[in-house]
Structure formats: structure tokens, C-alpha cells
Amino acid sequence: MSAILVAAAEGEEHNPLIPELPEIVLGLVVLGILFLLIRKFVVPNFEKAYAERTAAIEGGIEEAKSAQQEAQAALEQYTAQLADARHEAARIREEAKEQGAQIIAELRAQAQEEAARITATAHAQVEAERSQALAQLKSEVGSLATDLAGRIVGESLEDEARQRRTVERFITELEGSAN
């Protein structure tokens, strides 16, 4: 109680604008200690979190970028492959067409050759048969003529009727022998 009264009495003379040295010293010491503690234990932690956050965000952006690039590359690759495939298909089609045409041409040539061969064979056979027939005819005509002449000469040829009969008989014989 007395201390308060004393304080109140002193208050009349107390000038609050005169700083007290112990307060200044204490303020400096406390502020200094707090500053050192915060600089050592608090700020690095916050800064670490900030840095990690920045890194995480940048990493995310980087990742997205690379993914986009990859997708772009894949797209280009597929497009290229597709174009290649189209070229290949066109080439194969072209080749097939050529081959087809070639095969047709070959077959045609073969067929023509065959036809020619067959025609030639037929010609040859016909020719052979003809010449054979001709040869046979020649020999037969000779003998027939001789035969006929003999008969005509052998029988008297005064009777025209006889003569006709003779010829008819000869022809009938001839027909019979031919049969």
C-alpha cells in the first residue's frame, strides 16, 4: 500500500518520456535473443517450405511440359508411321497391279503360243494326211487305170451296152472294195 502511495507521489515528478536504462538494456537483450532464435530455428523452416513449394510447382509445370512434348513426339511418330503405311500400301497396290498386268500378259502370250502351236500341228497333220492321201491316190489311180484299161482291152468293146455294164460293174467293185 505504501509503495503505491509512494509511486503515486513520485508520479507527480515522473516524466514518462525519459527512458530508463534497464528497460533499454532489457529490451535490447530480449529482442536480440528472440532475433537469434527466430533466425536460427524459424525462418529456415519457412524458407525451406517455400522453396519446396516453388520447386513442386515448377516441377509440376516442367512435368506437364515434358508430357506435352512426349505426346507431340508420339503424335508426330504416329503420323509419320501412318504416312509410311499409306506409302507402303500404295506401293504394294501398284506392285500388285504391275504383277497382275504382267501375269495377264504372260498368260496371253502363252495362250497365243499354244494356239499357234496347236494350229501349226493341225496344219502339219492335215498336210501329212493330204500328202499321204495324194500318194495313195496316185498309186491307186495308176493301178486302177491299168486294171480298167486291161479289162476294157480284154473284153470286146463293140457293144456299147456291154461297155457300160463293164464300167458300172467296175465302179460297183470299186465301191465294194472301198467299203
Partner 1 sequence: MTLASTALVAAADGPPQPGPGSFLLPPTFTIGGWEVNKPELFLVLSLVIVFAFAYATSRKAQVVPGRLQFAGELVYGFIRNSIARDNIGSADYMKYVPYLFTVFLFVLVNNFYGVIPVIQFPSMSKFGFPVALALVTWLIYNVAGIGRHGFVGYLKHQTVPAGAKGPILIALVPLEFLSNIIVRPFTLALRLFATMFAGHLLILLFSLGAAYLVTGYANAAIGIPAGVLSFVLGIGVSFLDMLIMFLQAYVFTLLTAMYIGSAIADEH
CA distances from 17 to 13, 14, 28, 67 (A): 12, 9, 18, 67
Residue nearer to partner 1 on the CB measure, 41 or 176: 41
Helices 160-178, 43-154: crossing angle, 10 deg rounding: 150
Q: How far is the CB of 68 from partner 1 (least distance, A)?
A: 24
Counting residues that bind partner 1 (by CB under 8 A) gives: 44
Distance CA 46, CA 53 (A): 10
Q: How far is the CB of 63 from partner 1 (least distance, A)?
A: 15
Torsion angle, alpha carbons of 68, 74, 77, 82, to 10: -120
Residue nearer to partner 1 on the CB measure, 25 or 126: 25
Of 40-48, 60-68, 99-107, 167-175, the window that binds partner 1 (rule: CB under 8 A) is 40-48
Residue nearer to partner 1 on the CB measure, 20 or 158: 20
- Is 14 a residue that touches partner 1 (CB under 8 A)? yes
Distance CA 34, CA 26 (A): 12
Site residues (CB under 8 A) for partner 1? 1, 3-5, 7-12, 14-28, 30-31, 33-35, 37-39, 41-43, 45-49, 52-53, 56
